[in-house]
Structure 1
């Protein structure tokens, strides 16, 4: 842990930023005083209802076995059988922060007291997060209708049937009705979704800074970012982006004049394009904040009405569609970054040598960065394809729809990594152009950004391999985002 701050877990009010802090070890989770009491009420109600009527997954099988009544003589082992049969995940193990995020999300959902699991499972998750005990969770096995394989692996690890990937806890008993109640959630997908959202929004913050550096290198016209212009068409994301650019480009009210009557689209239309991505990311956060605090288990054990409700809250169409939209918006942003890189190597726009080269005639300078950027842009374009155009029909035809939200999140991780490369190439170009032009920068955080880039990125003008500098620029983007 890097600090001792605590996030209270009550089943309500958990935010994406809280999940990031716990998952990436800057805070730890603590159950609210009444969370265990409410979970106990839910558990007792679930036991009572299961003694009176059929309750899916408790007194019956699951999926197409929903009408198969569990033999009373074997009911004690029903939960463990269900977990064992569903722990069939494969693929690479999830990263440590993704597993911690999944555990935290599941803990908060259980604290919403709609699952009917025994309270000791909440305590076990809380303890595991506090002491750093981590299950081994595989990445493949979900289609957006519940992270059954991932959460079955977590539950069996808590029960002592699977080995811990890190640390350990004493085994926890699994009550007969706990199995489906525990795994009926998309917590693993949501945990990864929060981390993907965080990484992408941080990169979008950096893109504004990098664009402002390119703007200064190219002598852009700031009237396109005027408050009056954006009041006339006030899309929130574009208004926000234009305001950020004004803050970076001037320390006074007057915006600097440009070299041209109108700039290329990469500069002139940046607020409009970046603005759509900012709005899409804000919508993702809104969707995730709802699902992080949802008692979405099927069945829903409602302690207010003392009923069990069977439903379709396992569907994550909102998550999948929100991420599909965000990736599409990101692709447009990345296209502009690649276009600005091309502007930087064009003498008619930069006033500098072709490809920002110095040295003997025919030197290539940063020519190769365009190839690298467009390779990454091609990867992003494929990752931006909507996953929500597909579906699945499984479990003997009973389960005839899937959102593939898990795949939407995976694609977003891939798209973010690709955009990081595109933007790093632009940062290298902008930094090199500003060095060559020795252009003055405004007394704003942008000057600090250039000083930071200049201190990290080597100043080697002769033709040389750029691979290391691309990696350095990618790492630097996180620091620029803070400006």
Structure 2
């Protein structure tokens, strides 16, 4: 386990933040379950109430009935105990790539936090085992495809239910293992899921919500990185810093837009009006950068609200209200808020890709880069005809941007009637979340390419006789980048450096705009 850097994350009555899920996903914090007796009694009371209803032969969806449109089929009491295993067994049909380890931890955290709300009718023992999976880093192998986002993430979450029961496979200590073997190695008995427990584990939005937490964190950092890249490009392209004037932005006071402009002013060390330039207006990819990036900045608050409310909610069905002794049948498994958030986020992020792609196009074109060499080549004059600098990088960036833009089609509008028309309106929230992750991957590739090109442009500009010193923030960034990414003088394959830059982005390596 990664050395903990924070206090343990406690699963229980208190809400979690996206940052908690991110820390858990990255193995930066230990976990614990709320331990006070009053809380544990409240959880146990829900399970006892459910058992009391079975003693009275009460009708409860998914406990004494079949699932979905089969809710009209009564299940005799002597078969009730077998129903949970059937539920996770017949949902074992996921396909596609497996969720990576970071995403799987986020999914486990999201499911545990929802069940800790205390209205799902599960035992304390189930919460303890799910928390133990997180603490020991026992990660169910979850195929990412197969969820329509209502009733929740049934198929992918069946892999959580099955592995808690000692079935299917997990990743443990770097090896793919059968879940039963891992239980045996740790001296545990696999759980035998009680009535409602498989349904409580599966009939929720944990996969889309876990992915949404990760997507949000990546987008937040990308916003700051794109702002820093823009500042570097203003220097490399000899842009007009007056475009970010504080008084100018006071006239159109979108908070996120103003924040990005303020970051640019700080990066460019502008604290007073600058001398007039021969070029009054830069092209939009520089001049309007705060207006493009500001939309993402302004959206982060409501995106956080949607994601964290879902994260801290009970989102299965039915809800077990032991205090009032009621079973409430509803539709909290519907992932509409996450679907809308992720469909929106992928549009916001793809616009960042498009902005940076346009900036890179300016950098490499000697018609628009104000005196920089063609394709940012650093070769000497007698070698210039042989060298092509960032030409292919710009072509690749165009491809990544196009793919990011293509993936902005909203998933949530593709609702389809499923499951014998019981699930006749579904959210597609998990597809939207997976799309958002893909758009982020592509946009981070665009950012990596544009960052290296911007740094090359700044280096080339610094060689001019009339070169000005870089502002402090940009000088520090330029120096740090130079350690890993030396100037491109003679052509070289840049794949390795691009991958290293992507690794730095994934690690959120650079301290940017706190």
Matched, 1:467 2:487: no
Match of 1:79 in 2: 84
Of 85, 88, 92 in structure 1, the residue corresponding to residue 97 of structure 2 is 92
Deviation at 1:299, TM superposition (A): 0.5
Residues 1:481 and 1:326: Cα distance change in structure 2 (over 3 Å) = farther
Instruction: Judge conservation of contact 1:457–1:472 (CA < 8 Å) in 2.
Output: no
Match of 1:282 in 2: 301
Deviation at 1:163, TM superposition (A): 3.8
Deviation at 1:479, TM superposition (A): 2.3
Of 433, 439, 448 in structure 2, the residue corresponding to residue 409 of structure 1 is 433
Deviation at 1:481, TM superposition (A): 5.3
Matched, 1:367 2:391: yes
Of 470, 477, 486 in structure 2, the residue corresponding to residue 449 of structure 1 is 477
Of 224, 243, 248 in structure 2, the residue corresponding to residue 205 of structure 1 is 224
- Superposed, 1:31-42 pairs within 5 Å as 31-34=33-36, 35-42=39-46
Instruction: Judge conservation of contact 1:251–1:444 (CA < 8 Å) in 2.
Output: no
Number of positions where the alignment pairs a residue of Structure 1 with one of Structure 2:
483
- Superposed, 1:190-269 pairs within 5 Å as 190-250=209-269, 252-254=271-273, 258=277, 260-269=279-288
Match of 2:376 in 1: 356
Deviation at 1:92, TM superposition (A): 2.1
Partner Cα distance (1:151, 1:332) in 2 = 32
- Superposed, 1:141-156 pairs within 5 Å as 141-145=146-150, 146-156=152-162
With normalisation by structure 1, the TM-score equals: 0.95
Deviation at 1:196, TM superposition (A): 2.0
Match of 1:418 in 2: 442
Of 140, 158, 178 in structure 1, the residue corresponding to residue 164 of structure 2 is 158
For residue 463 of structure 1, give the secondary structure of its aligned residue in structure 2: coil
For residue 164 of structure 1, give the secondary structure of its aligned residue in structure 2: strand
Instruction: Judge conservation of contact 1:220–1:259 (CA < 8 Å) in 2.
Output: no
For residue 139 of structure 1, give the secondary structure of its aligned residue in structure 2: strand
Deviations 1:266-297 (A, max 9, x none): 11000010011222333222111001110121
Deviation at 1:361, TM superposition (A): 4.5
Of 189, 192, 195 in structure 2, the residue corresponding to residue 173 of structure 1 is 192
Residues 1:142 and 1:219: Cα distance change in structure 2 (over 3 Å) = same
Per mean C-alpha deviation after superposition, the further-off stretch among 194-203 and 438-447 is: 438-447
Match of 1:339 in 2: 358
Match of 1:329 in 2: 348
Residues 1:27 and 1:449: Cα distance change in structure 2 (over 3 Å) = same
Partner Cα distance (2:14, 2:267) in 1 = 37
Instruction: Judge conservation of contact 1:380–1:419 (CA < 8 Å) in 2.
Output: yes
Deviation at 1:93, TM superposition (A): 1.9
Residues 1:214 and 1:302: Cα distance change in structure 2 (over 3 Å) = same
For residue 385 of structure 1, give the secondary structure of its aligned residue in structure 2: coil
- Structure 1 residues not aligned, in runs of 5+: none
Residues 1:28 and 1:421: Cα distance change in structure 2 (over 3 Å) = same
Residues 1:242 and 1:351: Cα distance change in structure 2 (over 3 Å) = same
Residues 1:218 and 1:258: Cα distance change in structure 2 (over 3 Å) = farther
Deviation at 1:382, TM superposition (A): 1.4
Deviation at 1:346, TM superposition (A): 3.1
Matched, 1:396 2:423: no
Deviation at 1:482, TM superposition (A): 3.9
- Structure 2 residues not aligned, in runs of 5+: 174-181
Residues 1:234 and 1:138: Cα distance change in structure 2 (over 3 Å) = same
Residues 1:351 and 1:62: Cα distance change in structure 2 (over 3 Å) = same
Partner Cα distance (2:512, 2:473) in 1 = 10
Match of 2:201 in 1: 182
Deviations 1:216-249 (A, max 9, x none): 1112212221221111111121011111111111
Of 377, 384, 401 in structure 2, the residue corresponding to residue 377 of structure 1 is 401
Deviation at 1:254, TM superposition (A): 4.7
Instruction: Judge conservation of contact 2:265–2:271 (CA < 8 Å) in 1.
Output: no
Match of 2:176 in 1: none
Instruction: Judge conservation of contact 1:420–1:474 (CA < 8 Å) in 2.
Output: yes
Per mean C-alpha deviation after superposition, the further-off stretch among 109-118 and 216-225 is: 216-225
- Superposed, 1:272-311 pairs within 5 Å as 272-311=291-330
Partner Cα distance (2:14, 2:468) in 1 = 50
- C-alpha root-mean-square deviation of aligned residues, in Å? 1.9
With normalisation by structure 2, the TM-score equals: 0.89
Match of 1:60 in 2: 65
Deviations 1:16-66 (A, max 9, x none): 110010111000221112443221122122223443531110111110101
Deviation at 1:345, TM superposition (A): 2.1
For residue 510 of structure 2, give the secondary structure of its aligned residue in structure 1: helix
Per mean C-alpha deviation after superposition, the further-off stretch among 452-461 and 205-214 is: 452-461
Residues 1:255 and 1:308: Cα distance change in structure 2 (over 3 Å) = farther
Matched, 1:101 2:112: no
Partner Cα distance (1:83, 1:388) in 2 = 26
